[in-house]
Structure 1
Amino acid sequence: MVRTMEWAARADHMGGIPRKLIFMAGGAFAKIVATFLNSTSVHNEDTFIRLVRSRPPGVPLITVSNHMSTLDDPVLWGFRGFPSTNAKLARWVLTAEDICFKNTVLSYFFRLGKCIPITRGAGIYQEHMNEALDRLTDGAWLHTFPEGKVSQEDAPIRRLKWGTASLIVRSPVTPIVLPIVHHGLQEVMPEKFLFGRRPPLPLCNKHIKIIIGEPMEFDLPKLRQTAVSESRDSSFSTIRWPRISRYGLDEAAQRCLYSIISNNIQMVMERLRQFGKTLSKSKDLEESSF
């Protein structure tokens, strides 16, 4: 049974003090792992910090990234210069209910940490996707791992789940979408370290690379028209998705639209991954020349 604890996720819960304490502790942990125990290099961090701190009022931000370890969040936000201990600026994040919400204590902890429980396999219209949509309506920052699960292989970005695309489409104000690709956290927290298990603590002396892209813009009116047109000839077994009445999108049009958006994000993330590999090779060549 999911322990939702929406009350613990409210900013005014106990005057906001528990949330502040969680982010002070979690942010400090992220800083220690990312900058003291390991080294972290970030490409295009100024764009990211600017969007977190000073994007237009009421405009939500969705960041998307690959998923290489159970430490990706919060350690991704532990690099120098990022306000990782600021609870007000911090992201909301979609998290696996079966991992982060297994019991009351964990549920309370992750709720204070602005985590939204998502049930794997329950579809993009499950209850707590509406909560994520509410946060976007508030103009908040939401982070998602659209691949859906951890993968520690140095491989191309996998096909993305459609949940993120559905939030982009359904948000009253079109979110700014910022793609991020990282590498190295799979070495800090390997899935199979000792006897096929993760290490009890993060490993040290590793290098984390974070490649931040440029904001993605989606012309949703045009994409909706394309989806409606292309979906007329499609045939598939329906699963009775609700119709998005504002735009007249039936299930076929939604599937087409979510596929287009997800494929675009996937392609950009893969380009970032390849760019990161090029940067690594260039750095290795520079070091070998000395």
Structure 2
Amino acid sequence: MGRTMEWAAKANHMGGIPRKMVFTAVGAFAKAVATLINTTSVHNADTLLSLVRSRPPGIPLITVSNHMSTLDDPLMWGFKGFPSSDAKLGRWVLAAEDICFKNAVFSYFFRLGISSGFKQDFVSEIVNSAGKCIPITRGAGIYQEQMNEAIERLSDGAWLHTFPEGKVSQEDAPIRRLKWGTASLIVRAPATPIVLPIYHRGFEEVMPEKSFLGRRPPLPLWNKNIKIIVGEPLEFDLPKMMQMAILMSHDKSPPPLIGWPTISQHSLDEAAQRCLYTTISERIQTAMESLRSFGKSLLK
């Protein structure tokens, strides 16, 4: 599978003007919804702002969060003080190809502007766009061609946001088992990314799945309270974790092979990769769950 309209995602496409226009418009929309018609409070915002604006050269950032609504992105970047209209600082996001890239018009638009990847109607797709999208084919696995593009962006030291639970859930429930895509990006990136967990509540009230004739409302609701909890960066000693994964995989029965390539530079076969991705995902899940518990205490 080729890369869908990759040329439109390049920073120098038409001088960067279309991307700047999208970020300016959607950034203003995010600010209006998050700070004008609703109330948003952010715990530990300085950590996020510092990592977005200034990181060591060549070091990428991966932010991970729960997924409460189709408006999580871009609204979670609309809080006061965040540079939501800055196209250069803006994050890249993985988006579902079958939804955001249905035709040439949508493909071009979402290469410039991005939804969180789970929109199901035209209005939501247009309203939720916010720049720099990498299309992902759901069900095609973590080694699909499009994931290589995400690794290239990480190689550039970029910021990538993911929703590792894989789908929207508006229940007040523990963080679900994470998909392995985020863990695989952490391992395969040339420079180990900074990983920052985030938890949020309130977007499920701004855009509930079933409130308007059993569907999502046509526009965001107002007078809601949004709370965003930013955690501390997670550090991964990958060389040590890889060695442990190799040892652990040798002690287990080999899993059914599904054709994963060996990561030759690290001597990781499929069994070792499964162990490593599980370990990384569980650590991220634990961090996100801790933020969820902390957020519930703040709401009391």
Match of 1:36 in 2: 36
The residue type paired with residue 240 of structure 1 is G
Structure 2: segments with no counterpart, 5+ residues:
113-130
Whether the 8 Å contact between 1:3 and 1:104 is mirrored in structure 2 is no
Whether the 8 Å contact between 2:201 and 2:226 is mirrored in structure 1 is yes
Whether the 8 Å contact between 2:2 and 2:145 is mirrored in structure 1 is no
d(CA) in 2 for partners of 1:50 and 1:135?
20
TM-score, normalised with respect to structure 2: 0.92
The residue type paired with residue 105 of structure 1 is V
- Between 1:49-58 and 1:189-198, the stretch displaced more is 189-198
Q: 1:228 aligns with which of 225, 232, 246?
A: 246
Deviation at 1:84, TM superposition (A): 0.2
The residue type paired with residue 228 of structure 1 is I
Match of 2:207 in 1: 189
1:26 aligns with 2:44: no
Matches within 5 A, 1:239-258: 239-258=258-277
SS of the residue aligned with 1:136? helix
Question: 1:122-144 deviations in whole A, cap 9, x for unaligned?
Answer: 10001110000000000000000
Match of 2:63 in 1: 63
Whether the 8 Å contact between 2:57 and 2:157 is mirrored in structure 1 is yes
Question: 1:3-39 deviations in whole A, cap 9, x for unaligned?
Answer: 8110110000000000000000010010011000100
Match of 1:46 in 2: 46
Deviation at 1:41, TM superposition (A): 0.5
Match of 2:287 in 1: 268
Deviation at 1:2, TM superposition (A): 8.6
Equivalent residues, number: 281
Question: 1:60-109 deviations in whole A, cap 9, x for unaligned?
Answer: 00000000111111000000000000000000001111221122222111
Match of 1:89 in 2: 89
* Structure 1 vs Structure 2 CA RMSD: 1.1
- Name segments (4+ residues, structure 1) moved above 4 Å: none
The residue type paired with residue 244 of structure 2 is T
User: How much identity, in percent, do the aligned residues show?
Assistant: 76
1:179 aligns with 2:197: yes
Deviation at 1:206, TM superposition (A): 0.5
- Between 1:142-151 and 1:186-195, the stretch displaced more is 186-195
Q: 2:230 aligns with which of 195, 212, 231?
A: 212
Whether the 8 Å contact between 1:3 and 1:101 is mirrored in structure 2 is no
d(CA) in 2 for partners of 1:96 and 1:277?
30
TM-score, normalised with respect to structure 1: 0.95
The residue type paired with residue 221 of structure 1 is P
d(CA) in 2 for partners of 1:104 and 1:195?
31
Q: For residues 2 and 191 of structure 1, do their structure 2 counterparts lie closer, same or farther at Cα, with a shift above 3 Å needed?
A: farther
